[in-house]
Amino acid sequence: MNVNVKKKEKKKYFIPFIILGIVLVILCVVIGAYNYRNIKLYNYIVSSDSEVADIYYNFEYMILWDKTLNYIRENKKEVRFIGEDYTIIIPSYEISKYYNFNVKFNEGISEIKDFDGISIYSVDFSDFDDLYAVGGIEFKLPDTLLKSNIVDVYKYENDEYILYKKGTKIFTDRIYFNMLDDKKENNKYIVTYVPLKDIVVENDVLEINNKSSLDLVVKPLPDNATYEKFNFYSENDALKITENGVINAKEAGEYKIKISDNEQRIEKEITIKVIPIALELTADKSTISLFPGNTSKINVNVLPEDAIDKNVVFESTDTNIASVDDSGNVTAVNVGECEIKIKSASVENLQISVKIIVNEKPAINQTENNGITYINGVLVVNKKYSLPADYNPGVDQTALNAYYEMKSEANKLGFSLEIMSGFRSYTTQEGLYNRYVNTYGQAEADTFSAKPGHSEHQTGLAFDLGWVDDAYADTDEGKWLAQNCYKYGFIIRYQKGKEDITGYKYEPWHVRYLGNPLATDVYNSGLCLEEYLGI
């Protein structure tokens, strides 16, 4: 055979052997590297006391030893596959032998609707081989997003990006997603920071009622702006606002509230006007006892004093027993009991009631003793019934003792309640009355001064307290006296609105001692003494 032919034939078989040898060497290297890596990995995992097995990788593919898999599963170790840019977290019961870490990252300027022109970082690991086993993912953020310290995360669902995490604070250069309860389909995300341009409030001036609350509606501009939360601040403790923007008004007035984003780059100030509405109704009496045909007025106080609508509506639960007009004047009709409902005209469910008791009118038992008239045992002195000129008992000691008891209680509240005028003799009253007639004329004098013999002061049972002036009724002391004197056996003798019956003008300072329980009964009736006695 030709020598050249033999050389050619040897060369023909030599090249494949060379290639085969190279392949075998590479294979041995790969297998050796695989075994070496897995031996090292297994020893590391076994020697670690941690409940988490950290597996670092530099390639897209990972194949684990069965021995390693079994150890992880038996010891229930969570596995973290740690790459350069991201970490995949797999629970022990989901661990697999083979992984293809097919995760895609992309940083750039968005052309996506609502994010146009905004820097975004897109993450796509929907092609990850064992997607349903993923418990969480952690990946590194680019420097462009780390500047803001806060980002929003959107997930791709139904052909659009839906907000997944709002206002996520970035403490390191990485962000973590818990995927255990997440839908593992089309796992595409974008991480972005959309600058806040403005804070939008529905009105710069809002109104709220006192003692009520209001949810402040605050929106970002644009709608998808990135912010952790809005911060709210009230300049006055009378108006509180929660971290969720709920306004609680305590007192009427005008207040300022400041709103800012978490980074305090934008601040908004709005005015809150707290409008005072009726919060409480009180009546001067809780029970009124009347006789058929008698009338009594219910005086209602609406709080707070500056409430914008203090109108009330009166309503009788039984007009056959007692009726009431729009001003609170109650008229007894027949014997029985009913209630007068008093409702706020503007505030729903704000109401009180006064019990009305209509009793059978007692027979009048009138007796006289030495020119002194008693009606049902009560000494009566008015324009009709008089006292003898020589009747001079001085101050009644029982009445005086009751006054001292009342004064002591008033002093505890800061009221003096001094006696301005007590017992007056016939002669003293005669001189006083004549001076008034000379000054004002008899017609006017008769409206506030009694003729001699017709003054209650001559009985020793009447006192003028505080100071003699109509304005006394509006003082705290005068109000307390009117509302509490009955407890000590006294009544305000000449009531407001009863001038035609008593014959005298309203005197909030003049009290008459009756003793109890009579004083309480007269007070609860709302009647003047003449009405109560039927004279």
**Token pair of 271, please?**
């005015």
> For residues 491 and 507, is the Cβ–Cβ distance under 8 A?
no
> What's the full length of the chain, in residues?
535
Domains of the chain from N-terminus onward: 51-192 (2.60.40), 198-275 (2.60.40.1080), 280-358 (2.60.40.1080), 366-533 (3.30.1380.10)
Q: With residue 23 as reference, give the H or E element that holds it.
A: helix 3-47
Amino acid at 83: G
**DSSP 8-state class, residue 93:** G
Contact at 8 Å (CB) between 225 and 183?
Answer: no
Count of beta carbons in the 10 Å neighbourhood of residue 3: 7
Q: Does residue 376 carry a pLDDT above 80?
A: yes
Read off the pLDDT band of 130 (50, 70, 90).
low
H-helix or E-strand spanning residue 55: strand 52-56
Per-residue confidence at 34, pLDDT binned at 50, 70, 90? low
Least confidently predicted of 422-426, 453-457, 527-531: 527-531
Query: What is the reported pLDDT for 83?
Result: 81
Measure Cα distances from 280 to 72, 347, 453 in Å.
Answer: 70, 10, 46
416: confidence class by pLDDT, cuts 50, 70, 90: very high
Task: Round to whole Å and give the CA distance between 468 and 483.
Answer: 18
Contact indicator for 412, 458 with CB cutoff of 8 Å: no
Q: Which tokens is 143 given?
A: 């420097």
| R_g over Cα of the chain | 48
pLDDT in tens, 378-399: 999 999 999 999 999 999 999 9
Supply the residues annotated as catalytic.
507
Which single residue is written with the structure tokens 């599963």?
A: 73
**Contact criterion met (CB below 8 Å) for 89 and 135:** yes
What kind and span of H or E run contains 73? helix 66-74
Structural tokens at position 175: 């962000």
What pLDDT band is residue 405 in, cutting at 50, 70 and 90?
very high
Query: What is the torsional sign of CA 16, 22, 24, 27?
Result: negative
Q: What is the pLDDT of residue 235?
A: 85
Which tens digits make up the pLDDT trace of 160-207?
888 988 888 888 888 887 766 555 566 788 899 999 999 999 889 999
